[in-house]
């Protein structure tokens, strides 16, 4: 850990930095999944989905930044290399052999929902460690993920 004048105890800062790096790997993985869907989608709803996936990606990119910067603010290191992400991510691997729009929406909505679940757990873990600042960051991310999940799932319901 790097020295900081942050008044959270070092043990708390260490645990929170670790938690942030766990969720950072998931967020970076989700970002790459958004771009995989964005670049590879085909079908009659191509332009709508291409743009939707890019908008989800833009918000996820902000989440990546929030999480990484929080780890560093507390004296940690943002473990953001592809190697560290590959080792840490909890998200299921995104299939690269799909092109159909509904398949992309289904797979991406699954990843968004699962990341949302992990983020809600991180809210609780941060709160248990008495770090309201980190809990607030994860709460903000949770709200955003819920919005995107709603939008993705709404698209699936239109096509049922």
- Which positions of the chain have pLDDT values less than 70? 158-160
Residue 42 backbone phi and psi in degrees, to 5: -140, 165
User: What tokens does 45 get?
Assistant: 């709803």
Nearest to 149 by CA among 38, 48, 34, 42: 34
pLDDT at position 157 is 75
| Residue-averaged pLDDT of the chain | 95
Helix axes 101-128, 10-40, angle to 10 degrees: 170
pLDDT at position 155 is 87
- Report the CATH fold assignment for 10-158: Ferritin (1.20.1260)
Q: Where are the domains of the chain?
A: 10-158
């Amino acid at each position: 850990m790097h020295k900081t004048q942050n008044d959270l105890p070092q043990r708390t800062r260490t645990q929170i930095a670790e938690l942030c790096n766990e969720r950072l790997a998931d967020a970076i993985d989700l970002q790459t999944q958004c771009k995989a869907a964005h670049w590879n989608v085909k079908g009659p709803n191509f332009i709508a989905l291409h743009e939707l996936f890019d908008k989800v990606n833009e918000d996820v990119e902000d989440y990546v930044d929030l999480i990484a910067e929080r780890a560093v603010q507390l004296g940690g290191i943002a473990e953001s290399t592809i190697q560290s992400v590959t080792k840490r991510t909890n998200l299921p691997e995104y299939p690269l052999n799909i092109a159909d729009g509904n398949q992309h929406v289904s797979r991406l909505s699954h990843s968004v929902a699962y990341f949302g679940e992990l983020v809600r757990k991180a809210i609780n873990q941060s709160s248990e460690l008495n770090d309201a600042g980190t809990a607030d960051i994860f709460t903000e991310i949770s709200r955003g993920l819920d919005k995107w999940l709603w939008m993705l799932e709404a698209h699936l319901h239109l096509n049922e």
